[in-house]
Amino acid sequence: MVQQIIANGREKVVNRQIHRLFWKSLLTAKPQIVIWFFTRPPAFAVLHAIIPLYVAYALQAIITRHFDQVGHYLAVIAGLAVLHAILWTVGGLVASKLGEISGQHLQMAVIKNYLGKDYDFYANNYAGSISGQALRLRDAFQEYSGAAFLQIPKYIVIITASFAVLAAKSLPLAMITFVCVAIILGFTYMISLWRFKYRRKLSDVASNVDGKIGDALSNAITVKTFAAEQYELASLSKPLAKFNRVQYISWITSIPADVGRNSLAMAATVLLLFGTSQLYQQNKIALAMVILVQLYVLRLVTLATEIAEFTKTYERTMSAAYNAVKTMMVAPVITDVQRPKTITASDKLVLKLTNVTFKYGKRAAVRDVSLTVQPGTKVGVVGYSGSGKTTLTRLLLRFMDTSAGTIELAGVDIRDLRQSQLRSLISYVPQEPLLFHRSIAENIGYGITGCTRAEIEAAGKAAYVDEFIADLPYGYDTLVGEKGIKLSGGQRQRVAIARAILRNAPILVLDEATSALDSRSEQYIQKALWNLMKGRTALVVAHRLSTIQRMDTIIVMDGGTIIESGTHEELIERPDGVYAGLWEHQSGGYISPEKTAH
């Protein structure tokens, strides 16, 4: 019971946030909203209230044989039709612009929020599920906007005008109509609350299915490599079956809702038709007014049913938006301080780690690491897999914060810097090259504002990208495919290195930057990297020891801590040292797999 209350409270918070997000986006187009207010609602009033009234007057004139008045009423109706067309057209143009402006704002707000999430958030969530949430939120916003500026205003105009006309002709009939409509709408509201939990569950299940499908499709080459198509289909069958089952339940819950609502509507129609006939029999209203009143009565009853259908759309809209907005409400753990400090590339960028510890849960991936790197110093980092090397680079980039200890740059704790500024001072090349489904030129120049084509190609040449670029159909304009799938591993790595060269940051962090290169390419790349590292600080993680042989200092990590440090020559002179053992057992420059297994 307590958990249910907490869950309901959480849902209310998320729902309020959905409304807040949507209206914040809509209100970015205030001038368009003002113009819309003076065009579309009047257009609704003309079409649904004023024109029917003059039609009734014309019918009354025909019935009473006052044909001289018919022409006047027809002229008024024609004029109102023209007025409606003008108001509707202007309102439509303004509403379209409103949708364009607010939609742009919403999508930018969502992407900005998602990109602001932590490294850990993306490591623990399906990318397909997250992107699916964003797309469903966009569609939900379009439906929400349509409701706010089309359906709801129409309902308000029709209800207000209808009750006004009915009250003017017969107050008792208006009261009976009001009670009937209130009962239908009350039933609709209660049944929608009952159905809402099923729509919400359907949205949750759909998000999970999106994530699993996206995961399978984004790794389609791996699936094919392992001939695992049937395996993936089998693994998807259970979540898909659950989705279809939940969807089926959601569908059948609409049956009692529809039957109950339609039954109430029919009962109300019979009751109101009987009341109208009694008023006519008592000569309290004219025949034309009988038609008009019954028209409004039927419209109100029909409108109640239409509003019920609208609640289905509302349920679908809020359910579609729920997971995306819930994701947006996940606050990042890694945040900037309110008053960040500032350093520049021209400062003395001494990198200092003091008693740095980082834990994944209870397991310490890095333990009590202390290291000082002077500007321009090249430091190699080696060790067996799982020794904490890559974790160290992520801490430096502040993808995660230390569990204990500090990392300082130019005497400033990196937690006191803006994350964007810290990372602007670092060129990072990871184990897996991070390429977008864009051209090679766009990938090399990524994140570097104002770089020229000549600078991009010069960086490509320095990283030996031009060695394979001539073989591609469109040269530097060739699209590389999702995650760079059209390029080989070595080619992707060279593009990533070219990006680091062009970035020209004072600090380089290379995490196995040459691991995907053949020996010939590695020789070229090492020359380029050494030219790049001149006058810059470099932290180079490597399994291939030949990569870090010429470093100023080499640190050896094991179990998350530094166990040895020194130059290559100093370390191999220690016969019982780990580095000397690695050097002795390496094969082709790699750490021996036999040694790694121990």
Please name the helix (run of DSSP H) or strand (run of DSSP E) that holds residue 479, with its range, or none: none
Q: Backbone dihedral region of 407: left (phi > 0), alpha (psi from -120 to 50 degrees) or beta?
A: beta
Q: What is the pLDDT of residue 354?
A: 95
pLDDT digits (tens, 9 = 90+) for 71-83: 999 999 999 999 9
Q: Quickly count: other Cβ atoms within 10 Å of residue 105's Cβ.
A: 17
Please name the helix (run of DSSP H) or strand (run of DSSP E) that holds residue 477, with its range, or none: none
> What string of H, E and C letters represents the secondary structure of 490-546?
HHHHHHHHHHHHHHCCCEEEEECCCCCCCHHHHHHHHHHHHHHHCCCEEEEECCCHH
Predicted TM-score of the model (pTM): 0.72
Exposed e or buried b for every residue in 202-227, given b needs 16+ CB within 10 A?
bbebbbbbbbbbbbbebeeeebeeee
Indicate the residue type of 83: L
DSSP secondary structure string for all residues of 247-292: HHHHHHTHHHHHHHHHHHHHHHHHHHHHHHHHHHHTTSS-HHHHHH
Q: What is the pLDDT of residue 587?
A: 46
Q: What is the pLDDT of residue 9?
A: 58
CA distances from 209 to 127, 229, 508 (A): 12, 17, 40
pLDDT band at 589 (very low <50, low <70, confident <90, very high): very low
Q: What is the arithmetic mean of pLDDT over 12-19?
A: 88
Please name the helix (run of DSSP H) or strand (run of DSSP E) that holds residue 402, with its range, or none: none
Indicate the residue type of 458: A
- Cross-strand pairs, 587: 590
CA distances from 132 to 129, 135, 204, 323, 329 (A): 5, 5, 12, 10, 17
**Is there a contact between 346 and 557 (Cβ–Cβ < 8 Å)?**
no
Q: What is the pLDDT of residue 204?
A: 73
Burial of 4 (0-12, 13-18, 19+ CB in 10 A): exposed
Q: What is the pLDDT of residue 598?
A: 35
Q: What is the pLDDT of residue 516?
A: 56
Q: What is the arithmetic mean of pLDDT over 499-510?
A: 88
Minimum mean pLDDT among 41-45, 64-68, 219-223: which range?
219-223
Q: What is the pLDDT of residue 126?
A: 74
Do 2-328 and 433-504 agree at the fold level? no
Q: What is the pLDDT of residue 520?
A: 67
Q: What is the arithmetic mean of pLDDT over 196-204?
A: 72
Write phi, then psi, for 506 (nearest 5 degrees).
-75, -15
pLDDT band at 2 (very low <50, low <70, confident <90, very high): very low
Q: What is the pLDDT of residue 98?
A: 92
Domain limits, the chain: 2-328, 433-504
Minimum mean pLDDT among 261-270, 420-429, 517-526: which range?
517-526
pLDDT band at 356 (very low <50, low <70, confident <90, very high): very high
pLDDT band at 318 (very low <50, low <70, confident <90, very high): confident
How many Cα atoms are found within 13 Å in the side-chain-facing hemisphere of 46? 19
| Mean pLDDT score of the chain | 83
**Is there a contact between 537 and 525 (Cβ–Cβ < 8 Å)?**
no
Distance of CA 472 to the CA centre of its chain: 33
Please name the helix (run of DSSP H) or strand (run of DSSP E) that holds residue 227, with its range, or none: none
Q: What is the pLDDT of residue 561?
A: 93
Q: What is the arithmetic mean of pLDDT over 465-484?
A: 87
Exposed e or buried b for every residue in 443-479, given b needs 16+ CB within 10 A?
bbbbeeeebeeebbbbbbebbbbbebbeebeeebebb
pLDDT digits (tens, 9 = 90+) for 530-547: 767 777 899 999 877 877
Minimum mean pLDDT among 110-114, 146-150, 230-234, 414-418: which range?
230-234
DSSP secondary structure string for all residues of 196-225: HHHHHHHHHHHHHHHHHHHHHHHTHHHHHH
2-328 homologous superfamily? ABC transporter type 1, transmembrane domain (1.20.1560.10)
Cα diameter, the chain:
120
pLDDT band at 596 (very low <50, low <70, confident <90, very high): very low
Q: Backbone dihedral region of 238: left (phi > 0), alpha (psi from -120 to 50 degrees) or beta?
A: alpha
The DSSP bridge pattern shows strands 507-511 and 537-541 to be parallel
Q: What is the pLDDT of residue 518?
A: 64
Q: What percent of the chain has pLDDT over 70?
A: 90
**CB neighbours of 554 closer than 8 A, spacing ≥ 6?**
379, 380, 381, 382, 548, 565, 566, 567, 568, 571, 579
pLDDT digits (tens, 9 = 90+) for 246-280: 888 877 877 777 788 778 877 877 877 787 787 77
> Which tokens belong to 144?
């929400």
CA distances from 338 to 13, 419, 451 (A): 26, 12, 32
CA-CA distance, 32 to 200, in Å (whole number)?
33
Q: Quickly count: other Cβ atoms within 10 Å of residue 504's Cβ.
A: 14
Q: Backbone dihedral region of 71: left (phi > 0), alpha (psi from -120 to 50 degrees) or beta?
A: alpha
CA distances from 223 to 209, 374, 487 (A): 18, 46, 18
**Is there a contact between 261 and 305 (Cβ–Cβ < 8 Å)?**
yes
Higher-confidence residue: 124 or 453?
Answer: 453
Indicate the residue type of 526: Q
> Is CATH 3.40.50.2000 the right assignment for the domain spanning 433-504?
no
Is pLDDT above 70 for 549?
yes
> Which tokens belong to 429?
């090349």
pLDDT band at 177 (very low <50, low <70, confident <90, very high): confident
pLDDT band at 553 (very low <50, low <70, confident <90, very high): very high
Q: What is the pLDDT of residue 519?
A: 66
**Is there a contact between 412 and 342 (Cβ–Cβ < 8 Å)?**
no
Q: Which of helix, strand or coil describes residue 355?
A: strand
Which is it for the CA torsion 435, 439, 443, 444, positive or negative?
Answer: positive
